[in-house]
Amino acid sequence: MLEILLAGGWALLPILICSFVALAIILERFWALRRSSVFPPGLGAEVREWARSASLDASHLEALEKGSPLGELFAGALAVRDRPRELIKERIEDTGRHVVHRMERYLNTLGTVALIGPLLGLLGTVIGLIRMFMGVMAGGIGDPTKMAGGIGEALICTAFGLVVSIPAYVLHRYFRSKVGGYVVQMEKEATALLDDLSAPRPAPRRRTAASEAATSQAG
């Protein structure tokens, strides 16, 4: 393997750097976009129960915001739960944009790696061919080893460029699709919470004079 890398020449170096960057992003996104991390089990029902029972305070909201992307969306809505429905909806949309932006973090970089991988491989190919022709011009075609070095450099760079770009492109599309699915589910959860927050609260029962008299007699 080391001999292959050395045969690829200096043009292989940026391709290797891109491969390390892509691998780091892929591992980080697999960890960050775990379903249990984005959608903690039972969180939606628990938060709606909190909202109905009005058992919320600053510590609840802070823990909810830091716990998960869905919790951050809920916390944004609950922070303005006493406002009109339209204002709560606007807060959910604003918070949702920030949450989605964080879930898509580094994906543009991964897409860039998928795009430039073949181009870097093509650059290595061109450099290898130039090296081959320079060898032919200097010593003629009598020595095939001079041609073999340039051809080998060209093929190795092309192969490594494709090896890096194809998985990067596939996983870039996979993560985009995964985030899109999460967004749809988060919209459903947010709408359910918004309906609970906007539902009219039952008015407290007013005690009549007769009930007050009956209570005093019973006492």
The verdict on residue 34 lying in a domain is: yes
The verdict on residue 216 lying in a domain is: no
Asked if residues 172 and 29 have their Cβ atoms less than 8 Å apart, the reply is no
How much is the pLDDT for 204? 46
Contacts of 100 (CB under 8 A, 6+ apart): 179, 183
Strand boundaries in 62-173, DSSP class E: none
| Reported confidence tier of residue 156, pLDDT bands at 50, 70, 90 | confident
| Domain range enclosing 149 | 2-198
Q: Quick one: average pLDDT of 85-106?
A: 90
Token pair for residue 206?
């007013």
| Reported confidence tier of residue 31, pLDDT bands at 50, 70, 90 | very high
Q: Quick one: average pLDDT of 174-184?
A: 94
The verdict on residue 204 lying in a domain is: no
The verdict on residue 212 lying in a domain is: no
Interatomic CA distance for residues 73 and 117, integer angstroms = 36
Q: Give the whole-number percent of the chain exceeding pLDDT 90.
A: 28
The verdict on residue 42 lying in a domain is: yes
How much is the pLDDT for 178? 94
The verdict on residue 205 lying in a domain is: no
**Is residue 74 over pLDDT 80?**
yes
Asked if residues 40 and 52 have their Cβ atoms less than 8 Å apart, the reply is no
The verdict on residue 203 lying in a domain is: no
Q: How many domains does the chain have?
A: 1
Chain-centroid distance, C-alpha 180? 9
Chain-centroid distance, C-alpha 78? 24
The verdict on residue 214 lying in a domain is: no
Opening angle at CA 217, ends 214 and 219, nearest 5:
110
pTM over cut 0.85: no
Token pair for residue 159?
């192969």
